A = this chain, B = another copy of it.
Amino acid sequence: MDNFTFYSPTYFDFGRDTENHVGNLVKQFGGTKVLLHYGGGTIRKNGLYERVTASLLEAGVSFVELSGVKPNPRSGLVYEGIDLCRKEKVDFVLAVGGGSTIDSAKAIAAGTCYDGDFLDFYWGKAKIEQALPIGTVLTIAAAGSEGSPNSVITDEKTLIKKGTKSDLLRPRFSILNPALTCSLPPYQTAAGATDIMIHVCERYFSNTEEVEITDRLCEAILKTMIHEAPRVIKEPDNYEARANIMWAGMLAHNNVCGVGRVQDWASHHIEHELSALYDVTHGAGLAVITPLWMRHVAEVNPDKLILFAVRVWDIPLCEDDPNETIRKGIEAFEQFLRDLGMPSSFEEIGAKKEDIPLMVDKLFRAKETEGNFVKLSRDDVTRIYESAVK
């Protein structure tokens, strides 16, 4: 196990009707004037907007609004948010939505306190030294941004999707009401579940030895998702299954199951090129890429894939032919994703074979290799993309 630090100071308020606590929580964490940041129609339609704003007003917290966040959030809206926060002297950013809204809110929170271009943080040109405090009311279990220090934004000029990370971006509080996710369409639900599982896989597939505790935690989250995700596809209103997924989604990405080990993240980076170019739902892009990544890396680094098959998918270990065990494990995962309704090919997500060289160029613009579990070359990544063309 490697040395590590772990810091997850977010206050989580979890359960039915917890969105009604938002005003008091903002006040408790020092907010007096809020930027209320959200996507579009949904929270207006389902009454969440009314409940959140009523709670803010009741707590004596004033607010200004910025809506219009889209999946794979863009830099343009962040600039608007920064201007608005400065003009209105906002002292707290409240995201009501999923990972895209929260990531956009984090960018605004950091950008407001910075004299330069906020994208400097995403291009690694500057370190976040200050940010407005952030709170969230989560409406999709997927990205884990409600408990993470991460934010991913697409630069509109270059269509390059880039991430940044700072403990200052960890929300002060996050409100997780599973009932708010019951109305999500099956495709979004399944893409969220996939994202959660692959947040765990990025940590699980590590060459760091002697990490039994975090291996077991990863497996616990994956097992939970295997049990719960099919249930919510069949019964979208199943509060209990939604609740288990929602807490699993936070744990999958606040790094409690990833400390003390070198993590991989190749699948995420390979997928980011897809969602930046085609605006694919991130989880759906991951459903295409990750199993193919597994097939590719299993050839050179099989051991962890065996553990994945045996412990996560209950595949009996075939001692004569461990590759058989690995194959069955990956197949079980692929079948699971298909049963959730997730795609497995470029065709299904509208990606094009002829764009592969462009995506590879973008991915490798500033690095020689991708990932850590197996260090992938341009050629490796090209082969992974190509294997998605059915």
* Residues in A lying within 8 Å of B, measured CB to CB: 1-16, 18, 209-214, 216-217, 219-221, 223-224, 227-228, 240-241, 243-244, 247-248, 251, 256, 259-260
Contacts and interface: CB of A to CB of B under 8 A. Distances in A.
B1 A240 contact: yes
B7 A12 contact: yes
A7 B254 CA distance: 13
Oligomer copy total: 2
Nearest to A18: B3
A247 B260 contact: yes
State the 8 A-B residue pairs at the shortest beta-carbon distance, nearest first.
A3-B15, A210-B240, A216-B220, A9-B9, A220-B220, A1-B243, A6-B12, A213-B224
B244 A213 contact: yes
Nearest to A178: B1
Nearest to A15: B3
Nearest to A219: B220
Contacts of A259: 14, 247
Given A4-B12, A6-B11, 8 more contacts: A3-B14, A3-B15, A9-B9, A14-B259, A213-B244, A217-B220, A247-B260, A256-B256
A243 to B, nearest CB: 4
A259 B12 CA distance: 11
A294 to B, nearest CB: 22
A213 B247 contact: yes
B11 A4 contact: no
A227 B216 CA distance: 11
A5 B12 contact: yes
